[in-house]
Amino acid sequence: MSNGQEFKNINKSSAVKRTEKRLKRAGWALSRKYGSRKKRGEKPAAKGGSNIRKNVLRVQKYHQRLSRMWEEYRTWVVSVIVKTKPGIYHHRKAACARDEKEPVLGEVCFGSEIFGFKVKLLNTCRKMGMELEK
């Protein structure tokens, strides 16, 4: 922001890292269950057994938890920005690990989150009766 305030990257926080780690582990466990079922020659696990269904729910729960963390953080950042009543908003794109190698993938890496943030910011400013230049 113009007053020198920068917002931390939420993806580096311990809560997000922990949830992503748990999501990976749950995904691996689910994959192993599907693989062992296929290896035994059983029907495709569309319905699955009770353990597979439990693991699917666990993976969905972690995905939902992560998306809620990101949405909550985005809402907080927008509220802080709107409280300072900026005239111009400029977004500095963070570096993506894939940016140097393949710039197109770097854009995909950040595209959806930045767009959602901009829409949320513009809508909030519109509700408050503020004009915001991009």
Residue for token digits 């699917």? 56
> Dihedral angle at the C-alpha atoms of 17, 19, 24, 28, nearest 10 degrees?
150
Give residue 104's pLDDT. 44
Token output for 129: 């009766």
Q: What is the pLDDT along the chain (134 residues), one digit of tens a residue?
A: 566 777 788 888 999 999 999 999 999 999 998 888 878 887 765 666 788 889 999 999 999 999 999 889 888 888 888 888 776 665 555 554 444 444 443 344 445 577 777 788 888 888 877 776 65
Longest dimension (CA), the chain: 63
Q: Are 116 and 77 in contact (CB under 8 A)?
A: no
Phi, psi of 106 (to 5 degrees): -65, -40
Task: Tally Cβ neighbours within 10 Å of residue 121.
Answer: 21
State both tokens at 20: 């992503």
Q: Residue 103: its pLDDT value, please?
A: 47
Total residues belonging to the chain: 134
